[in-house]
Chain A
C-alpha cells in the first residue's frame, strides 16, 4: 500500500512539474506582451516596467526562479489585473465561494442522486424508475451553463425566489449556483447507484436475506445499499472534474467572486501570471482528488489490488 501511494505520488510530482513547465513556456511564447499597455509605452518605459517584474532576465533564470517559488507556494505576482499583488493571495482570497458552491453542489447532488438511484432500483420498471432515469439522462446531457441560465431566468428573474447574481446574500446567493453544479453529480450518482443496486439485489446473499424473512426496506438499506455504495467512490473523480469545469461558467453566470470567475477574467485581460497560477492550482486539485479516490477505493474494498503490477 505504502509503495503504491509512493509510486503514485512520484507520478503526480512528474505530472505537476510537466504542467508547470509547459504552462510557463506556453505563457512565454504567447503572442502579445504580458504588460497590457505595452503598445502605448516608449521602449524605455517598457523596459523599466519589464525590469520591475523581472521579465528582462534570461528565460532559464525566470524559469528556475518560478519553479523555486512554486515549491514554496509562491505563484508570482499579477501584472495586469492587480498590479504587483501576489497570485497566491489572489487565489486564496477567492477559494471560499468556489469551495462553498462546489461542496454544496456535490453534497446535494450526490445525496439526491443516491436516493433517486435507490428508489429506481427497488421499484424497477415502475414510473418512479422511468422518471429518475429520465432525470439522470437529462442531467448528464444538459451542459451546466445551459442549466444555470435556465435556473437564473426562472427562479431568480421571473419568480424572484433567489438573488439573480453576486455574492451578497450569504447562503441564498449560493443556492442557484450550487443547484446548477449539482446536476451532474446527481445524474451520475443516480445512474450508478441504480445499476449497482440492481446487480447487488440479484446476488445470492440478498436471496438468503429474503429467505430469512428480512423486510424489503431492511434488505434495501442494510444489505444492498452498503455494497452498492462502495463503487460510487470511483465516480467521485469525474464528479470533481465536472464541478471544477462547471464552476468556470457557473461563477461567470452568477457573478460569484470565485476562482473560476477569476480564471476566465484573467484570460480576457491576459494576466499571464494569474492564468499560470490558477492552472497549476486546478491541476493540483484534480490530481489530488484522483489520487485520494484511488487510495480510498483500495482501503475500503480490499478486493481491489493496488500493489502495482500490470493489469
Chain B
C-alpha cells in the first residue's frame, strides 16, 4: 500500500475520446432467434447426446435389415430360440450364444450345430431378431412420425384459424374442441382400431382422430397472444394481407411451440402403438413393430428373455431420447428462459 499513485509513469493510460459515431455500434454479431436457440441447445448435454443417439437408431433402423444376412420374415425352424451371439464381444462372456436348457447353461449354437451368428438371437420360429428389431423400429417410427405430422397439420390449421379470426368462429370451434378433448384418447383409439382393418393406416388414423386437439389449443393460445401485438398492427397498417400476416409475422413466433409440442407427440404415438400391439389390437403378423415384438417376447419371457429385452430396450431408448430432445428444445426455444 506504499505505492504512490500520483507518481505513475506518463503514458500508462490512453485518453479515449468520446466518439458519438461509435455509440450506436453493435459490438457483437447479432444473433437470430434460431441461432440463439441452437446455442442454448448445444449447452444441453442430454439433448445433444439424445440427438446423436436417435440419429444412430434411425440409421440402424434403415440399415439394419439391409446389412443383416437374414430376411426379417424368413423362418428357419432348426435355428429357433437361439440367444444372441456377436463375434468378438462373445469373448467377454456376454452375447456368446449361451442359454439355459433344462436348467443348465449350454452353448446353444454348438448344441444345434449352427455355424452362423445371430447378433440378436432368433425367435420361436427361427427368425433373425436383428433384422426384425430394426424392421420393427422402422415401422414404429413411421407410425409415430406420420401421426405427429398429421396432428401437427390439423392442429396448426385449426388452432390458427380459431385464434386468428376469433369471434363467432372461435366460439364454435372451441366448443367442438372442448367436447372432443373430453373424450379419453384411450377409448377413441381402441374403438377406432376395432372398426378398421388392423394395420399401419388404421393405427395412424386412430392416433390422429383426437390427437390434434392438444396442438390446436397451444397454437390458438399463441396466435391469440401475438395477433394483438404492435408488430402485427404495424404490418396491418402497412397493408399486409391476412395471408402475409399469418405466414410472415405470426408463424415464426408460433413455430417454437409447434416444434416442442410435436417433439412430445412423437414418443406418445410410439407408446400408443406399442400399447395397442401389446393388448392385441396392433399390427397383425407378419407385419411387426416394436410393440408386437415386445408382445411376442413377453410370452417367452421366462425361457427366452432376449426376445423381449432387445425390442424393449430399443423402444425405451427411443422414448428416452425423444423426451430429452423435447426437454432440451423446450428450454432452448422458450424465450422466458433466456439468459
Contacts and interface: CB of A to CB of B under 8 A. Distances in A.
Contact of A286 (B184, B195, B271, B279): B184
Interface string A166-194: 00000000000000000000000000000
B323 A267 contact: no
Give the interface SS of chain B, mostly helix, strand, loop or mixed: helix
Interface stretch (A22-30, A42-50, A99-107, A117-125): A22-30
A131 interface: no
B108 interface: no
A234 B322 CA distance: 23
Interface stretch (B58-66, B81-89, B128-136, B175-183): B175-183
Contacts of B224: 311
A275 B191 CA distance: 9
Contacts of A279: 187, 190-191
B320 A141 contact: yes
Contacts of B221: 311
A143 B315 contact: yes
Contact of B312 (A14, A149, A245, A311): A149
A267 B190 contact: yes
Contacts of B179: 11, 14-15, 18
B174 to A, nearest CB: 9
Interface in A54-105: none
Contacts of A264: 279-280
Interface stretch (A202-210, A213-221, A246-254): A246-254
Contact of B182 (A12, A30, A267, A275): A12
B70 to A, nearest CB: 26
A279 B189 CA distance: 11
A30 B312 contact: no
B120 to A, nearest CB: 17
Interface string B165-205: 00000000000001100111111001100110000000000
A310 B185 CA distance: 25
Contacts of B280: 264, 267-268
Contacts of A287: 182, 184
A64 B44 CA distance: 58
B323 A140 contact: yes
A282 B182 contact: no
A267 B324 contact: no
A141 B323 CA distance: 7
Interface string A258-282: 0000001001100000010001001
A253 B278 CA distance: 10
Interface string A133-150: 000011011110110011
A187 to B, nearest CB: 10
Interface in B109-164: none
A112 interface: no
Given A18-B183, A244-B186, A146 B279 contact: no
A110 interface: no
A149 B275 contact: no
A145 B194 contact: no
Given A137-B323, A146-B312, A253 B178 contact: no
Interface residues of B, number: 37
Contacts of A283: 183-184, 187
Contacts of A146: 294, 312, 315-316
A26 B301 contact: no
A245 B186 contact: yes
Contact of B319 (A22, A141, A249, A286): A141
Max chain A C-beta neighbours (<10 A), residue from B182, B224, B298, B327: B182
Interface in A1-36: 11-12, 14-15, 18-19, 22-23, 26, 29-31
Contact of A252 (B186, B279, B312, B319): B279
B301 A241 contact: no
A15 B301 contact: no
Contacts of A31: 195
B211 interface: no
A144 B83 CA distance: 25
Nearest to A30: B195
A250 to B, nearest CB: 11
Contacts of B278: 145, 249, 252
Given A15-B179, A137-B320, A149-B301, A267 B279 contact: yes
Nearest to B46: A137
Contacts of B294: 145-146, 149
B305 interface: yes
Among all A-B residue pairs, the 3 with the closest Cβ atoms: A15-B182, A141-B319, A141-B320
7 contacts: A14-B179, A15-B182, A137-B320, A142-B319, A267-B194, A282-B186, A287-B182
